[in-house]
Amino acid sequence: MGIAADIIIIVVAALFGGLVAQRLKQPLMLGYILAGVLLGPLTGHVAVSGFDDIEKLAEIGVALLLFALGLEFSLRELKPVKYVALVGAPLQIVLTTAYGYLVGRIFGWEQGPALWLGGVASLSSTMVILKTLMNQGRMGTLSSRVMIGILIVQDLAVVPLMILLPQLSNPAAGLPALGLAAIKASIFLAVMILLGTRLLPRLLKFVVNWNSRELFLVTVAAIGLGVGYATHMAGLSFAFGAFVAGMVLSESDFGHQALSDIIPLRDLFGLLFFTSVGMLLDTTFLVQHWYDILLLVLLIALGKGVLLALLTRGFGYRNVVPLAVGLGMFQIGEFSFVLAQVGHGTGALDRVSYSYILSAAIISMVLTPFVSGFTGPVYAFFKKHRKRESIETINMPIQELMNHIVIAGGGRVGCHIGRVLKQIDVPFVIVEQDHRRFEENRRDGFPAIFGDATQVVVLDAAKIGAAQQLMVTVPSIAASQTILMNAFGANPELHVTIRAHDIEEMKTLYTEGAETVVLPEFEAGMEMTRQALQHRNLPLTMIQRYSDDVRKELYSPSIGNVQSLQNLKHLKNAQNLLDLSWEKVSVTSKLIGRSIEELELRRKTGVTVVGILRDGNFVSNPAADFCFREGDLVAAVGSKSEFESFQEMFSRPA
C-alpha cells in the first residue's frame, strides 16, 4: 500500500500517543511527537518506510496551521494588552534571538546555527501554555491575558522569521536576497489586500449559494493551499502565503465558518507534522548528549524567562504578573519545529544542531506545567520578604472600609451594581484589571482598585477580610473559582454572589461555597418573556407566578433542600391561597364617584379591596366611604371566579 500504509500506521500510533498525553493532562501534540519517536529512531524507521513522502505531507500541515492562524487572527483580542503585545513581544523576540545566539556561540556553534537557535528560542508554545493555564484554573486572569497577547504576536512572527533567518545565516550573500524577499512580500501583501479582499469573499459567496458544505470546504482548502503554492512559486514561503490568505478571509463574512470547517483538516495534517518531528528526533543522540541538552534547556529557560518577566514589569504590570509570565513562557514552542525544519531543509542547520534544538524544545515543553506550577509558592515567598507593592486606587473613602461590598469586575454588570449601591449609600469597592474600564469607574465616581481580583494581594487591598459581601461579575469560571477560593481564605464568613454560564457551572460554584449563583442569560430570557406576556395583557400576578415557578424549578435542584428553600415554598403556597389582582379605573367606568360601601363590592363579587394607588400615593385598607376616581389602581384579593366578577364590574360603562 506504500504511503497509504504509512499514514495508517502514523494515525493509529498518534491515537495511542494522544491518549497517553490526555491521560497525563498534556497537550496532544506531545503525544504525537512521542508516537513519532516510537515509529522512527526506536524502530529504526522500519514501521514507516516512506518518510520523505510523510515530510511532504507534513508541509501541508504547516501551511494549514498558519492558514488557520490567519483565520483566527483578530486585532480585537490584543486590545486589552495591546502595548505589551504589539511593542513588548517584538522586542522580546529580538532580545531572545540575540541571547540565544550568544548561548549557541558559547556551545561552540557556528554563526548560522547559533542565529537559528536564537530565532527558534524566541517563540513560546501556544498549545502547551493554554493547556497549562486551563489545567491550573488560571484562564481569565490578567497574567493569562498578557501571555495570550504575547503568544499571538509570537505566532505571527513565525512568518517573517521564516523569511529572515535563511537570509541572515549568511549576511554577505543573504542581505541582497533579503531585500528582494522583502520587496516580493510587500508586493504580495499589496495584491492580496487590493484583490484578495474583493475576489476571495466573492468566490466564497458564489460557492455558498450552491448550499454544499463539501464544496465550501474544498474551496476554503483550495484558497489556503493555492495561495500558499503561488507564493512558493514566487520564491517566498509556502506557509507565508497560506497565512496571508487566512488573514484576508478572516475579515470576510465567511471567516468563522471557514475556520470551523478547516480545523479538522488542519488537525489531521498537523498530526502528520508533529509525528514527523518525533521521527526526526534521534533518541540515541539524546542519551549520549543529555548533559549538554539539559544545560541548553536551562540556559534558554533562565534567560528567556527573565527577559519576559523584566519586559512585562517594564510595561507596568506588577504583583504576580511578571513572575507568572516568566515561569509560564520560558519554553521553546511548537512553531520552532517549523523554523527548525526550514533551517534543516535549507542546510543552515546541520544534523547535530537540529537534534539539539528538537531535544531542547520537547524537554522544555514537558517541563512547562511543573515550572509554571511554582508561580504561587514563589510569589508567596517573595511577598513575605519584601515590601508590598503599591496598588493604584481611585475615589476610595476616607474612613476604613468595613462591612462593605467588594465587586470583582468593573465591567457593565459591575457598573450597574455600583450605580445602585451609590444611590442608596451602601459602601462598596470595585476591583478591575482592565485599565480602560478602571478609568470609566473613575469618571463615574466609583471607589475602585486597579488589579487582578484573583490575586490575594489585590483582595487584601479591597479589605476583603472586613467585607460583608463579595459580588463576582467576571465571565470566566476559572477566574471566579480562584477569586472564591482566595476570598474565603481571608474571610470564611463572606456572603458571595457570583455569575455562571450554565447549570454545571452553577452546581460547581455552589459546592465551592457561593451563597447565590446568577445565570445572566437565564435572567435575560425571563425578563424578555415577562415583557412578551405583558403585551398579551395577561394579569401581572399570573406573570409573576409563572416567573417564580420557573426560577424555583431551575435554582432549587442546585441549592438542595435547605431551610431557605423550604420557607420559600411555604410562602409560595400561601401566595397561591391568597391571590392579588390589580385593576385600573377607566374614564368610562361606572365606579367613578362611588364608594366601596355603595358599590357593595364584597357582597356582589366576593373580593376584598386591600389598597388603592392614586397619584403615586398608596392607600392601604381603604375605608368603606372611599370614593373611586379615574386612573385609580385598585388592589384586591380573592379567588379566580371572584376576580372574574370583579373585572366584569370594572369593564361596565357608566
The pLDDT of residue 562: 45
Cα angle 334, 335, 336 (rounded to 5 degrees) comes to 85
| C-alpha pair distances (Å), 410 with each of 404, 497, 606 | 16, 15, 52
Strand-strand pairing, 405-408 and 428-432: parallel
> What burial letters (b/e) apply to 36-74, b meaning 16+ CB within 10 Å?
bbbbbbeeeeebbeeeeebbebbbbbbbbbbbbbbbbbe
> Which positions of the chain have pLDDT values less than 70?
1, 41-47, 49-51, 73-78, 134-135, 137, 139-141, 168-178, 181, 383-390, 435, 540-541, 555-580, 640, 651-654
The pLDDT of residue 574: 47
Mark residue 628 as left, alpha or beta (left: phi above 0; alpha: psi -120 to 50; beta: remaining). Answer: beta
The pLDDT of residue 571: 46
The pLDDT of residue 235: 72
The pLDDT of residue 467: 94
Cell of 363: 524537554
The pLDDT of residue 107: 92
Cell of 591: 365606579
pTM (2 decimals)? 0.62
As beta bridge partners, residue 406 has 429, 470
The pLDDT of residue 606: 82
| C-alpha pair distances (Å), 253 with each of 224, 250, 266, 310 | 17, 8, 21, 40
The pLDDT of residue 44: 61
- What are the phi and psi torsion angles at 394 (to 5°)? -140, 145
How far is residue 652's CA from residue 122's CA, in Å, rounded to a whole number?
A: 84
The pLDDT of residue 312: 93
pLDDT in tens, 442-486: 888 999 998 888 878 788 889 999 999 999 998 888 888 889 988
Fill in the DSSP letter of residue 331.
S
One-letter amino acid of 595: S
As beta bridge partners, residue 40 has none
The pLDDT of residue 77: 61
Give Dmax over CA atoms of the chain in angstroms: 110
One DSSP character per residue, 3-67 reads HHHHHHHHHHHHHHHHHHHHHTT--HHHHHHHHHHHHTGGGTT-S---HHHHHHHHHHHHHHHHH
How far is residue 265's CA from residue 269's CA, in Å, rounded to a whole number?
A: 6
| Cα atoms in the 13 Å half-sphere on the side-chain side of 251 | 12
